[in-house]
Structures are given as structure tokens and as C-alpha cells.
Amino acid sequence: MRKIAILTTVANFKLYDKTSHLFGLEYDRYVIDGRNGMYGIQSILYMMKKFKNLDYDYIIMADEDFVLKSNNTLTILIDEMNKNNITVSGVRDGGVINHRNYNPFCVNTFFSVIDLNKIKLIWNRKEMLSNQKIEKEEFFLNEVLDYKYDESSLYESYYCFYLWLLRKGEKIKYLTSKSLELNNDSITNVIYHNSIIIGFHSWYARAYGTNKKHTERIDLLLNGLESNSITTVNYVLWKDSTFKYRLYIKKFFRRIRIKLNRIK
């Protein structure tokens, strides 16, 4: 039996309480408290630190606004990853979703599956962080994508993680995605594995419960699922209590550098 954990960096716990139970109860749950500004590459670094001494084969990274449709399809995907030596599966951050026109070689972190054992074997924090760069025509795009993209984009700070894996020769499986276009919802996208729905990404997690439009839209999505009853899910909560202070100091000195450069 493979040991699998679900990791969510949560900014909106109200929404997390409504989506987390859709994953099978056989998975262990871990939550990074993202209300202090931790997300993106900082969340990945914290993930690797916390999972360093934990015995898991795969991690499912899923934001609280990712709504799982099929645990069975998720299991099939992990079986394929194991069989075909795939390190990461996820949706491209360029060319697949109409409003994400960035790097098509990198995965958007709203949903992905990673082979933790493989990454642990090669993990080097400093080396990984040094990969936030890309050369022209460094990677080959082997499919025609529906939307615009930028192969040279470094839009997200976490791109270095996926660029590092590609440069290490690790395999990434890019999942397909289409707009939902249901109930006047042109924002949510559907994620597929071999033409079968894995789940949905509603976007705008932070707006849930505060913005009427997005709250109603996401509730319609949740109410449309067969398994929409709320079930209490136990999880381990991780919070870096010093992160917001380190982030503040970093931003403070960045502002000073910008001002000094303007004076020059």
C-alpha cells in the first residue's frame, strides 16, 4: 500500500471545511496555515521541511478551492505515475486555462500530485532556488495549446521548483483542463486525466464568504456534486509563527533598496 498525504495551504478555512471531505478518508491530511501570507515557493519550501522525516510516497497538493470529483480517477493517476516513472502531475500554467497565459512548462500549484520519494532523493534547497531562470528554446513543447502562453515567463516564484525538476531529468505529466461553462460559471476550470474528470478548480478562494458573486458561484459547484454532505475531517495544522515577521522585514528592506536606487 502506498502512503499518500493531502497537503493544502489554506487561506480560507471556511471553504476548506466544505471541500476537504471530498477526498477519501484513507488519506492523511496536512494543512499549512496560509493566512499569514505563506504561499507559492515559500509553501513548497515549508512542505519539504515538514515532510523531510515523514514516511509518505506521494503528496497531493490541493488548494481549498480545488473540488475533487473522483477519488477513483485520482488513484488511477497515481498508479500511472508509479508505473511510468512520473515525478509530478498537474496543469500547465500557460496555454491551457484562458486567463493563465504564463509558462507552459510549469505546473500551477492549485492541484498537483508529486512523488515525494523521488524528490527527497534529489532535494537540494539552494540548487532548486537557483533555477528561477529559463533560456530561449530550452524546453520543447510537444502539443498545440488552446490559449496564449509565454515560454520565457517567470511570473510565479515557484516556477523554479518545476524548472529544476525538468533540468534534473524528472518527468512531468501535464493534465488537461477546460472551462466549466455551467450555470454561467466561466471561471471554474475542469481537470481531466485521460478525458475523465478528476475535479474542478473554482479560483478565488479568498473571496469565498466575503464576495457574493464568488460565494454563490462556488456553492453552486459544490451543491452539484453527489457527495456534498459535510463530514468532519481531521488534519494536522502547521503554522510557521515567525514567517509573517520575516516577510515584513524582507518587504521593508526591499522598499528601502527601491528608494535608494531611485535616489541614485
Q: Answer whether 13's CB lies under 8 Å from 208's CB.
A: no
Q: What's the half-sphere exposure (Cβ side, CA atoms, 13 Å) at 62?
A: 30
Cβ(38)–Cβ(243) below 8 Å: yes
CA angle 6, 9, 11 (to 5 degrees): 135
For 258, residues 6+ apart whose C-beta sits below 8 A from its C-beta are none
Q: What does the alpha-carbon distance between residue 20 and residue 13 come to, in Å, rounded to a whole number?
A: 10
Q: Check if the beta carbon of residue 30 is closer than 8 Å to that of residue 5.
A: yes
Reading the chain (264 residues) residue by residue, the pLDDT tens digits are: 789 999 999 999 999 999 999 998 889 999 999 998 899 999 999 999 999 999 999 999 999 999 999 999 999 999 999 999 999 999 999 999 999 999 999 999 999 999 999 999 999 999 999 999 999 999 999 899 999 999 999 999 999 999 999 999 999 999 999 998 777 788 999 999 999 999 999 999 999 999 999 999 999 999 987 555 557 789 999 998 777 667 667 766 667 776 667 666
pLDDT digits (tens, 9 = 90+) for 237-259: 999 877 766 766 776 666 777 66
Name the phi and psi angles at 79, rounded to 5. -60, -40
Report the C-alpha gap between 119 and 141 in whole angstroms. Answer: 23
Burial degree of 237 (CB within 10 A; 0-12, 13-18, 19+): exposed
Pick from 135, 40, 153: nearest CA to 95: 153
The three grid cell numbers given for residue 16, joined into one nine-digit string:
476548506
Q: What angle do CA 80, 41, 236 make, to 5 degrees?
A: 70
Identify the CATH number of the domain in which residue 64 sits: 3.90.550
Provide the domain count of the chain. Answer: 1
Instruction: Tell me how far apart the alpha carbons of residues 139 and 61 are, in angstroms, rounded to a whole number.
Output: 25
Containing domain of residue 9, as a range? 4-263
